[in-house]
Structure 1
């Protein structure tokens, strides 16, 4: 009886919270608070403003924290019937971490940590900007591909740095005097910054240095960069497809209504009754088989005839 009373109350809480969370004004209000939090952070960079409005800024910080805490509680209440779905969303986990850490003593006592946490709240604005959310998701998905890109780039830099050290260490020790300096020089050349000066300095040593710089620019500035762009674009397309699939979830994933728990109980009761009926029928069949085996012939004929 108590479960049947609690289930409608939980459903009412879930439905009420869901209506608030899914409303347009809720998202706009939270986004406005996030932007206000960012503006206050900018104001605090001016020492004169902090000295003049210290109390007001402190009150605003407490107000922002209260609003963000209430927002997370509302989102959690909207998923009270599906807590796993709430915890499966990485944005919810990020919001919980950013807000919960602000309540820890180490964060409250350390001004630097507290400012970093308040700055992290600004990143929550991406939750309300679908295009930004897609880009962030694409960056996360491109990390495995970027690892291969980094390995190839490191190998390319190391090989060309060793070649540069062999040929230019004596004539240009400032840029190629060690493997570290050579790697740094070539890393800057990938951006094509200072390429003209490097080529002119190399031509003073040998005309064949044009092959060295030309091949490095070809592989480093064009092949590698295009490879990175391809990885990011592919991840961006995957993130866009996932975002579209999330926005068009099938309605079967939604809760069925206030009588969902009661309906489940009734289905379970009907299933148990069906199992008991099948057991009884099996027992009756075994009993009749035993009677036919040991009963006289005239009783067997009566059983076949369907007589009692």
Structure 2
């Protein structure tokens, strides 16, 4: 029976060739160098004298960087030509595509501020080529929900202590505790323990009980809450490592060899099925009770 040719043969060949190009170490190194060059060009543009003298050269270099980034994205999209949905499931692919494609949007190209911000966002694409940096960025994103809860608790503690400080020190130290806003700012700066010694000395001149106020705040805000935040970040870092390991395992899953193509893979499966059928046929007796021809051949050979 003739096996029909599988559809999408051209897309699979295109994906295989693009995948070979994008997975080459030289490809990643070239893109990484272009990203660093783009960052250096942005730094040079901050010097008005250099920007005015080499304006044409800088613009040409920027256009070359954009062309290389566009070529890179075309190759990356082509590597997923046989499975387009997998390309959009990767957040880094979506981020790279948005950063590069936005440079061709008419409104963005005419807005100098937005264009510079998007060029600055290209520097973050170095995370694709630095696994440890990629893990840290994922950890930061994973820690945002826990950080929001931490900020709420920290703000609540800061507000309560600010109100207590306003009640106790507003008349004697209006510069730091004259209002709840000033008190919160003062206590927020004391979270780093910078200036705590001067604050304690000024408080002792008002009341000896101020030592309890500052000691309890330093213990709660600078030690307990900060350690809670560190725990949230470390937990998110472990989750980011697990996510990165899972993504690496998915990328390394074996698939059909690119050189064989879809026809070669189908032929291999047919050959395997035929060998299995031959083994089954050899193990069955003939209809007249005699051994099958495969068994007779094996006995005669022995």
C-alpha distance in 2, partners of 1:5/1:202?
Answer: 82
State whether structure 2 residue 248 is matched by structure 1 residue 247: yes
- 1:259 to 2:262 alignment: yes
Helix, strand or coil for the counterpart of 1:26? Answer: helix
Which residue in 1 is equivalent to 2:193? 192
Unaligned runs of 5+ in 2: 271-302
Q: How far 1:68 moved relative to its partner?
A: 0.7
Structure 1 residues 12-51: aligned runs within 5 Å: 12-51=13-52
Counterparts in 2 of 1:5 and 1:246: CA distance versus 1, 3 Å: closer
SS in 2 for 1:207: coil
Alignment of 1:12-161 (within 5 A): 12-161=13-162
Within 1, Cα distance between the matches of 2:146 and 2:46? Answer: 38
Name the counterpart of 2:220.
219
Map of 1:182 onto structure 2: 183
Q: Give a deviation string over 1:95-124, Cα, whole Å, max 9, x none.
A: 111111111222221211111111110110
Query: Which SS does the other structure have where 2:205 is aligned?
Result: helix
Q: Distance in 2 between matches of 1:90 and 1:68?
A: 17
Bigger Rg, structure 1 or 2: 1
Name the structure 2 match of 1:302. none
Give the TM-score of the pair, scaled to structure 2: 0.82
Structure 1 residues 251 and 222: CA distance shift in structure 2, 3 A: closer
State how far apart, in whole Å, the 1-side matches of 2:32 and 2:125 are.
Answer: 8
Superposition CA RMSD, Å: 2.1
Residue correspondences, number: 263
Q: Which runs of 5+ in 1 are unaligned?
A: 268-308
Q: Aligned partners of 1:186 and 1:204: how far apart in 2?
A: 18
User: How far apart are the structure 2 equivalents of 1:235 and 1:153?
Assistant: 19
Cα pair 2:143 2:233 within 8 Å, conserved: yes
For residue 248 of structure 1, report the CA deviation from its aligned partner.
2.3
Q: Distance in 1 between matches of 2:81 and 2:172?
A: 71
Distance 1:227 1:252 in 2: 38
Local SS of the residue matching 2:176:
helix
CA shift, 1:254, in A, is 3.5
